[in-house]
């Protein structure tokens, strides 16, 4: 009889973390016990501790996992669009779709987290930090390219500004999620349409205006 192939530890980590994530969102991390997580995941408590030392480590694993999934969806979204405006819209829509498809992970993504900047470590905290930096780099690269090609205002874009933008977009996501009925009743808009309209307004704040482009042309041409 053939021996059963040993499963990758990450398979067990995912099973445990998925069960724990649902309980964390329902009861909160503080009010959830490792016993409850073990039962929900279908493991003994002793086996649970083979893969996670405590609840905080499970939360860190969930945070890293959500960051990784969002980075992949974001990278795919911006790579398939040609215009810079479409890339910006695609990045926002990627966050919207992610929040709708994985509300548990999105909530964890927006929650306070412990981050390690130790680039040599391979724990969940370090992986989370690296994934976040990669997400920022995708967005900064897109914005810098757009600036160099005259689509966005000619100024330096920083990580701080990326967070300002994410804050505005995350606010739109939250309203679209929680005010669905009101948007339909008072605004006559489906949440998706409301969200996209908001994205376009945010982009217009960054876009190089026509008069700015004309001034740049005059200056470059040596005119008064």
In a domain, 87, yes or no: yes
Asked if residue 42 belongs to a domain, the reply is yes
> Among 72-76, 140-144, 173-177, 219-223, whose mean pLDDT is lowest?
219-223
pLDDT at 6: 63
Choose the weakest-confidence range: 4-18, 31-45, 188-202: 4-18
Q: Which domain holds residue 124?
A: 56-220
Q: How far apart are CA 109 and CA 131, in angstroms?
A: 12
C-beta pairs of 46-55 under 8 Å, 24+ apart in sequence: 47/12, 48/16, 50/12, 51/9, 51/12, 51/13, 51/16, 52/13, 52/16, 52/17, 55/20, 55/24, 55/29
Arithmetic mean of pLDDT, 73-89:
90
Same domain, 18 and 78: no
CB 145 within 8 A of CB 199: no
Give me the number of domains the chain comprises.
Answer: 2
Q: Are residues 20 and 43 in the same domain?
A: yes
Backbone φ, ψ for residue 158 (5° rounding):
-120, 170
pLDDT value at residue 80: 87
| Interval 191-205: pLDDT, tens | 999 999 999 999 999
Same domain, 102 and 212: yes
Asked if residue 13 belongs to a domain, the reply is yes
> Could you tell me if residue 2 is inside a domain?
no
Asked whether residue 208 falls in the same domain as residue 168, the answer is: yes
* Residues 77 and 118 reside in one and the same domain: yes
Per-residue model confidence as pLDDT tens digits over 152-184 = 999 889 999 999 998 999 999 999 989 999 999
Same-domain status, 111 and 214: yes
145 shares a domain with 69: yes
Same domain, 129 and 183: yes
pTM: 0.74
Pair (39, 73) in one structural domain: no
pLDDT at 107 over 80: no
Which pLDDT score, from 0 to 100, does residue 205 have?
92
Q: Are residues 175 and 105 in the same domain?
A: yes
Tell me: do 69 and 143 sit in the same domain. yes
Does 147 lie in the same domain as 36?
no
CATH of the domain at 12: 1.10.10.60
d(CA 171, CA 110): 11
Residue 1 lies in a domain: no
CATH number at residue 187: 1.10.357.10
Question: Which own/partner pairs from 85-91 qualify as long-range (CB within 8 Å, at least 24 positions apart)?
Answer: 85/151, 85/200, 85/203, 85/207, 87/142, 87/146, 88/142, 88/146, 88/199, 88/203, 88/206, 89/196, 89/199, 89/200, 89/203, 91/139, 91/142
């Amino acid at each position: 009889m053939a021996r059963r192939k040993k499963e990758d530890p990450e398979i067990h980590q995912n099973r445990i973390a998925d069960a724990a994530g649902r309980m964390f969102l329902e009861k909160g991390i503080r009010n959830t016990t490792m016993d409850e997580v073990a039962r929900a995941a279908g493991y003994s408590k002793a086996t649970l501790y083979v893969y996670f030392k405590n609840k905080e480590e499970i939360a860190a694993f969930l945070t890293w996992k959500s960051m990784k999934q969002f980075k992949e969806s974001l990278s795919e979204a911006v790579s398939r669009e040609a215009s810079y405006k479409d890339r910006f819209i695609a990045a926002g829509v990627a966050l919207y779709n992610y929040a709708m498809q994985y509300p548990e992970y999105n909530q964890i993504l927006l929650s306070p987290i412990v981050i390690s900047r130790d680039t040599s470590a391979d724990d969940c905290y370090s992986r989370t930090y690296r994934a976040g930096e990669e997400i920022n780099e995708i967005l900064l690269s897109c914005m810098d390219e757009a600036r160099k090609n005259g689509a966005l205002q000619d100024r330096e874009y920083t990580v701080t500004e990326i967070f300002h933008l994410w804050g505005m977009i995350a606010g739109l996501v939250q309203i679209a999620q929680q005010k669905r009925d009101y948007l339909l009743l008072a605004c006559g808009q489906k949440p998706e349409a409301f969200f996209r309209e908001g994205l376009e307004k945010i982009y217009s704040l960054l876009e190089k205006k026509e008069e700015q482009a004309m001034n740049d042309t005059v200056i470059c041409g040596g005119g008064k």
